[in-house]
């Protein structure tokens, strides 16, 4: 059954031009197509490929037609959005949402002066290990509902709060029930019981844990952060990523969150799809990311700086150097307990030097590039019909009206003529 969506005051296609959106361009094309496209440099508003007064036809879960409302073809059903803006569903390329318990006490302590160092991850690990499969599944389902209610259609989910072979495999098994973007993060921190022998823990992660987790994971990640006594060095990170790649997983990296460090360099060296945080960068890191713009995305997580009371990453510096930038929530119980991509857009605009157009692109197409996806993060003919509707006339209202629940996903499977 086809669905005609009319009354779209402004359609964000991320196609670079309305013509390109109408033509479509092989959304299932090569694995790196999305990243290469993302390296396009040009006017940020032009890059959004805005179509004013648009209509769109959805057929079988895909975008089948885009164009001016006046030229819209007939369809089985129709819905009028009354002049609202539509953008691709947010692509949240970084989350840690398979966990039990919370760390509000740690957050409160931080707001009265304590620093974040990763030590609290062990608290969540203990609560997660103690939870049943059913409890974790229920918590995860509620979090996914929360993401979707705010306009997010794709969520990457990491393990990393189990840190035993069985607990990591369980986390990924549960994550794989709700997303195809699953990431093995056995190298989140060295768990308390292994702190006497870090090398043995790295052996566990790269050996039996990887073997048990790889069937449920697309990605391998590591918290490469020598500034934290619990996380991993550049050398350890290389070992973990290389082993994961040997098992068929694709690399991504947590790096440069708490201080200057080797995370970005390691990520670029192994051809990671993304290096996430990028809060403390040397000029050489920025240059390396600019050189790797067709391969490695810098994913900024402003909710972390908000919730750890840290300086924000300098998005302007990265964008001006030609780096491909994504925005994501990092939703987790420690450093950012928010699933709100609209909040990330608003923070990026207000605190990190991004324009509304740049932030919206980074939260949609940028996230897709960070996941090497070309079928999401864009609304072009052939792409997934993930429509995020705003209770507002333009994409810029996401930053202009911070904290207001403007965004929701359109349920294209059920709507008839009623909104």
The residues binding ligand NIG (CB under 6 A) are 96, 118, 120-121, 124, 223, 254, 257, 304, 330, 332-335
Residue 120, binding choice from ligand NIG, Fe ion, none, Cβ under 5 to 8 Å by partner class: ligand NIG
Beta strands (DSSP E) in 191-301 are 219-224, 250-251, 253-255, 274-277, 297-300
The closest residue (CB) to ligand NIG is 334
Alpha-carbon distances of 159 from 77, 168, 179, 289, rounded to whole Å: 41, 6, 13, 26
Q: Is the dihedral of CA 38, 160, 225, 359 positive or negative?
A: positive
What region does 330 belong to: left with phi over 0, alpha with psi -120 to 50, or beta? left
Q: Quote the least distance from Cβ 39 to ligand NIG, whole Å.
A: 25
Which of 16/191 has CB closer to ligand NIG? 191
R_g over Cα of the chain: 21
Residue 399 contacts residue 349 (beta carbons within 8 Å): yes
Single out the residue of 50, 19, 36, 60 nearest to residue 374, CA to CA.
36
Task: Pick the closer one to Fe ion by CB: 24 or 303.
Answer: 303
Per partner kind, with CB cut-offs from 5 to 8 A, the member of ligand NIG, Fe ion, none near residue 223 is: ligand NIG
Smallest distance, ligand NIG to C-beta of residue 122, A = 9
Cβ 331 to ligand NIG, closest distance in Å? 9
Length of the chain: 419
Q: Least distance in Å: CB of 185 to Fe ion?
A: 8
Query: Closest CB to ligand NIG among 171 and 407?
Result: 171
Residue 363 CB, nearest distance to ligand NIG (Å)? 17
256 binds, among ligand NIG, Fe ion, none (CB under 5 to 8 A by kind): none
334 versus 356: smaller Cβ distance to Fe ion = 334
Determine how many CB atoms are found less than 10 A away from the CB of residue 352. Answer: 24
Pairing mode, strands 250-251 and 253-255: unpaired
**Cβ proximity of 381 and 65 under 8 Å:** yes
Residues that bind Fe ion (CB under 5 A): 330
Q: Whose Cβ is closer to ligand NIG: residue 65's or residue 223's?
A: 223
Task: Give the nearer residue to Fe ion in terms of CB position, either 157 or 407.
Answer: 157
When CB distances are held under 5 to 8 angstroms depending on the partner's kind, the choice from ligand NIG, Fe ion, none that residue 157 binds is none
Residue 18 or 160: the one with the smaller Cβ distance to Fe ion is: 160
Report the phi/psi class of residue 290: left, alpha or beta, with left for phi > 0 and alpha for psi in -120 to 50: alpha
Closest distance to ligand NIG from the beta carbon of 133 (Å): 21
Closest approach, Cβ 244 to Fe ion, in A, equals: 16
**Minimum distance between the CB of residue 323 and Fe ion, rounded to whole angstroms?**
19
**Which partner, Fe ion, ligand NIG, none, binds residue 34 by CB below 5 to 8 Å per kind?**
none
Q: Which residue is nearest to Fe ion (CB)?
A: 330
Please say which residue, 95 or 374, places its beta carbon nearer to Fe ion: 95
* Residue 229 vs residues 170, 195, 206, 232, 242: alpha-carbon distances, Å: 26, 10, 20, 8, 22
Distance of CA 49 to the CA centre of its chain: 21
For residue 342, the partner it binds in ligand NIG, Fe ion, none, with Cβ less than 5 to 8 A by kind, is none
């Amino acid at each position: 059954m086809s669905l005609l969506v009319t009354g779209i005051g402004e359609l964000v296609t991320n196609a670079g031009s309305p013509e390109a959106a109408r033509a479509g361009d092989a959304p299932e094309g090569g694995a790196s197509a999305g990243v290469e496209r993302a390296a396009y440099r040009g006017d940020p508003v032009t890059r959004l490929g805005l179509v004013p007064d648009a209509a769109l036809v959805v057929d079988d879960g895909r975008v089948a037609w885009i164009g001016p409302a006046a030229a819209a073809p007939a369809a089985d059903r129709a819905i009028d959005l009354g002049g609202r803006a539509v953008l691709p569903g947010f692509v949240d390329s970084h989350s840690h949402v398979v966990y039990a318990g919370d760390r509000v006490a740690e957050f409160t302590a931080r707001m009265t002066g304590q620093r974040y160092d990763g030590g609290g991850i062990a608290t969540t690990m203990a609560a997660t290990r103690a939870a049943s499969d059913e409890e974790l599944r229920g918590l995860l389902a509620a979090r996914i509902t929360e993401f979707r209610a705010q306009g997010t259609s794709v969520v990457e989910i990491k393990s990393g709060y189990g840190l035993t072979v069985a607990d990591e495999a369980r986390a990924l098994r549960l994550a794989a029930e709700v997303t195809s973007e699953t990431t093995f993060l056995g190298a989140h921190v060295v768990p308390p019981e292994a702190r006497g022998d870090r090398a043995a823990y790295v052996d566990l992660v790269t050996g039996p844990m990887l073997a048990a987790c790889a069937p449920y994971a697309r990605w391998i990640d590591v918290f490469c952060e020598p500034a934290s006594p619990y996380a991993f060095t550049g050398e350890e990170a290389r070992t973990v990523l290389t082993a994961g790649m040997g098992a068929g997983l694709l690399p991504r990296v947590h790096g440069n969150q708490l201080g200057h460090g080797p995370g970005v360099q390691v990520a670029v060296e192994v051809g990671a799809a993304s290096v996430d945080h990028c809060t403390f960068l040397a000029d050489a890191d920025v240059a390396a990311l600019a050189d790797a713009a067709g391969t490695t995305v810098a994913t900024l997580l402003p909710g972390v700086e908000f919730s750890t009371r840290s300086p924000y990453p300098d998005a302007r510096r990265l964008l001006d150097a030609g780096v491909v930038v994504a925005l994501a929530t990092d939703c987790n119980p420690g450093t950012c307990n928010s699933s709100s991509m609209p909040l990330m857009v608003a923070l990026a605009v207000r605190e990190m030097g991004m324009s509304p157009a740049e932030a919206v692109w980074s939260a949609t197409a940028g996230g897709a590039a960070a996941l090497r996806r070309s079928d999401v993060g864009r609304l072009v003919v052939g792409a997934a019909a993930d429509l995020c509707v705003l209770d507002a006339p333009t994409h810029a209202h996401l930053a202009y009206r911070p904290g207001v629940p403007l965004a929701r996903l359109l349920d294209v499977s059920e709507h008839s003529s009623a909104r």
